[in-house]
């Protein structure tokens, strides 16, 4: 692989709305493709952010995301919520 070619990276997060999101899967190349395929098969929203994936992939499996990444991950979670029509616990949709 040349220096210009970059490996695909995928990181899966789990968020239970009570604790910080955790890293549940991560991988590069073929493993990244498998993670993405499984997420797609199960209707899990996907979000592409190479820089965030690179940072998250450095964390250990099962670890909570660090505070420094809360805002970036919160934006991804908000994106996922919007795609699936979910709302955070305790939040009510306002009628327009």
Q: For the chain, what are the domain ranges?
A: 9-84
Phi, then psi, of 88 in degrees rounded to 5: -60, 150
For domain 9-84, say whether CATH 3.40.1400.10 is its number. Answer: no
Q: Is the pTM of this model over 0.85?
A: no
Q: Which helix (H) or strand (E) holds 24?
A: strand 22-28
What is the tens place of the pLDDT at every residue in 6-36? Answer: 689 999 999 998 999 999 999 999 999 999 9
What is the tens place of the pLDDT at every residue in 28-41? Answer: 999 999 999 999 99
């Amino acid at each position: 692989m040349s220096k210009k070619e970059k490996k695909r990276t995928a990181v899966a997060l789990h968020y239970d709305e009570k604790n910080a999101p955790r890293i549940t899967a991560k991988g590069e190349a073929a493993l990244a493709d498998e993670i993405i395929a499984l997420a797609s098969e199960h209707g899990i929203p996907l979000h592409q952010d190479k820089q965030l994936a690179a940072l998250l992939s450095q964390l250990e499996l099962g670890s909570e995301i660090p505070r420094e990444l809360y805002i970036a991950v919160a934006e991804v979670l908000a994106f996922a919520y919007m795609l699936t029509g979910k709302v955070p616990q305790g939040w009510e949709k306002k009628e327009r």
